[in-house]
Amino acid sequence: MENISHEAKNILSIISNYGPIRPVDIAKKAIISTKNLFKHLEKLLNEGLISKQGSAPEVYYQYSEKQIWIRGIFDKNDQYIENNYIYVSPNGQIIRGVCGFETWCIKNKFDFEKEKKKYIQNSQKINRLKRSQLISAKKIILSGKKELFLSNIYFSDFYTFAHFGKTKLGQLVYVAKASQNKELILEVVKYVKPSINKLIEKHKINLICFVPPTIQRKVQFMEVFRKLLDLQQKEIEINKVKALTLVAQKSLRKLEDRIQNAQKSISINPNQVIDQNILIIDDATGSGATLNETAKKLKKIAQKQVKIFGYTIIGSYKGFDVISEV
């Protein structure tokens, strides 16, 4: 903080004491012009000393939790965490990499070095399951107990693992949906698009379809995801039947309820031409019921034998999860 001016330090002190706080209130408290204030705010943001929330005209600034970070990056394990870890604070601040991992350790009173070792070991186990950055989950969906109409189902990553909570992709999908943030959705697309393209090429897929959302939002994750993904294959239309009471499929606690939910809520126009391999795309899989029931309906109207594959950005580590927050 040596290169921070006295005026900027005063602004930082105000934000630390009164944040979250609006720019207009900071300016009044600091007795400073708006022009000078935003010059200092930009400097403080670039230094990682404060964070910004909201969008104009409702913008707030607060002291950054990144100040907890005292370590640097010393070895390849630190670098792996730097590239693959995201912590989301209780107030919604995203803290990435080693800084985020240390923040999580401090919050939970864990030893950083011990947790780092465990995190790397668990990550290596998961990475051994991946081929072309994809996890084949056919054996675990529907708890491995029900008839499958999917030839296979793939995740880019698990939603959570071990006691570390959400994976990087799990955090990005969760925060992107909750905040309806298009920049985070774009980050997800950049992360997963290469592996989706390899999947399409490997299985000679010429038809795609996207599972529509249940809960209405101003910015729909799957709609933005579909547009940014910009796949060239012909798209099959899938519709969600709107019930009087909207029940998010992934929030149901019994597998049979999820299957029934998918049976009753997924509608596919039977007059569509389905004569080539299909990829069904969704954001998250808790059990695989939605993708499997969609595949079952598609096979009923297919003009010939086709293979149907499922893909979700994140999926359950155990084969069945309640993921109500996504």
Condensed to tens digits (0 to 9), the pLDDT of residues 37-95 reads: 999 999 998 887 888 887 778 899 988 765 545 556 778 999 999 999 999 988 778 88
DSSP bridge partners of 191: none
| Cis bond before residue 23 (omega within 30° of 0) | no
Structure confidence at residue 324 as a pLDDT band (50, 70, 90): low
Q: Tell me phi and psi for residue 315, to 5 degrees.
A: -145, 175
Q: Where in the chain is the domain with CATH 3.40.50?
A: 131-315
pLDDT of residue 16 exceeding 90, the answer is no
Q: Which CATH number fits domain 131-315: 3.40.50, 1.20.120, 3.30.70, 3.40.30?
A: 3.40.50
The pLDDT, as a whole number, for residue 92 is 78
The pLDDT, as a whole number, for residue 72 is 64
The pLDDT, as a whole number, for residue 26 is 95
Most confident of 13-27, 139-153, 241-255: 13-27
Distance CA 134, CA 120 (A): 19
The pLDDT, as a whole number, for residue 215 is 76
Q: Where in the chain is the domain with CATH 1.10.10.10?
A: 6-63
Distance CA 82, CA 79 (A): 5
Token representation of residue 81:
């965490």
Number of Cβ within 10 Å of residue 264's Cβ equals 11
The pLDDT, as a whole number, for residue 286 is 84
- Report yes or no on whether pTM surpasses 0.85: no
**Pair 152, 117: CB distance under 8 Å:** no
Structure confidence at residue 125 as a pLDDT band (50, 70, 90): very high
Q: Which residue has the higher pLDDT, 36 or 261?
A: 36
The pLDDT, as a whole number, for residue 282 is 95
CATH architecture of 6-63: Orthogonal Bundle (1.10)
Q: Which amino acid is at 202?
A: K
Lowest mean pLDDT among 14-28, 133-147, 219-233, 299-313: 133-147
DSSP bridge partners of 130: 135
Lowest mean pLDDT among 51-65, 164-178, 218-232: 51-65
Question: Shortest CA distance to 179 belongs to which of 225, 218, 223?
Answer: 218
Whole-angstrom Cα Rg for the chain: 23
Give, in order, the Cα–Cα distances in Å from 279 to each of 51, 61, 122, 289.
Answer: 40, 43, 30, 15
